[in-house]
């Protein structure tokens, strides 16, 4: 028992699909941009120009976004897996039912709020 009706599950699954499509598109565009940027980057010579330093800063920010997107995609895949084995909607740490409002906001949630707080306290981003 997940505590969620079939209908609720179906609607959450749809949300996961939508979010996944969004993230994949975002990742693809980040990758495209990265390819283009590196194609236009002048070969590295001794002594960085301001432009090159700028490009590098931009790249770091973009990598951060790509990493976040990739992590969320991973969580979505995990959520799907939990849907398949009937564990979706339960906290992976303490096994309590995750409030539906929380799942509606973030369908890939894997922990209840107290456990998530605890987790984040021990795993600072």
CB-nearer residue toward Zn ion: 16 or 112 = 112
CB-nearer residue toward Zn ion: 9 or 99 = 99
Q: Which of 94, 104, 119, 120 binds Zn ion (CB under 5 A)?
A: 94
Radius of gyration of the chain (CA): 19
CB of 114 to Zn ion, least distance (A): 6
93 is a site residue for Zn ion (CB under 5 A): yes
23-82 binders of Zn ion (CB under 5 A): none
Q: Which of 91, 107, 109, 110 binds Zn ion (CB under 5 A)?
A: 91
CB-nearer residue toward Zn ion: 66 or 92 = 92
How many binding residues for Zn ion (CB under 5 A)?
A: 5
Q: Are 95 and 111 in contact (CB under 8 A)?
A: no
> In whole angstroms, how far apart are CA 27 and each of 16, 71, 74, 90?
16, 11, 13, 29
CB-nearer residue toward Zn ion: 74 or 119 = 119
99-118 binders of Zn ion (CB under 5 A): 112, 115
Nearest in space to 91 (alpha carbons), one of 56, 119, 53? 119
CA distance 45 to 92: 50
- The residue ranges that bind Zn ion (CB under 5 A) are 91, 93-94, 112, 115
């Amino acid at each position: 028992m997940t505590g969620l009706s079939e209908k609720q599950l179906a609607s959450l699954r749809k949300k996961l699909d939508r979010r996944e499509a969004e993230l994949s598109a975002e990742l693809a565009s980040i990758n495209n941009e990265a390819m283009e940027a590196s194609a236009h980057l002048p070969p590295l010579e001794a002594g960085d120009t301001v432009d090159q330093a700028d490009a590098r800063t931009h790249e770091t920010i973009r990598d951060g976004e790509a990493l976040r997107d990739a992590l969320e995609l991973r969580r979505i895949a995990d959520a799907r897996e939990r849907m398949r084995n009937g564990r979706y909607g339960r906290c992976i740490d303490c096994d309590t039912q995750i409030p539906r409002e929380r799942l509606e906001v973030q369908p890939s949630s894997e922990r209840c709020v107290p456990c998530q707080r605890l987790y984040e306290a021990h795993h600072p981003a």
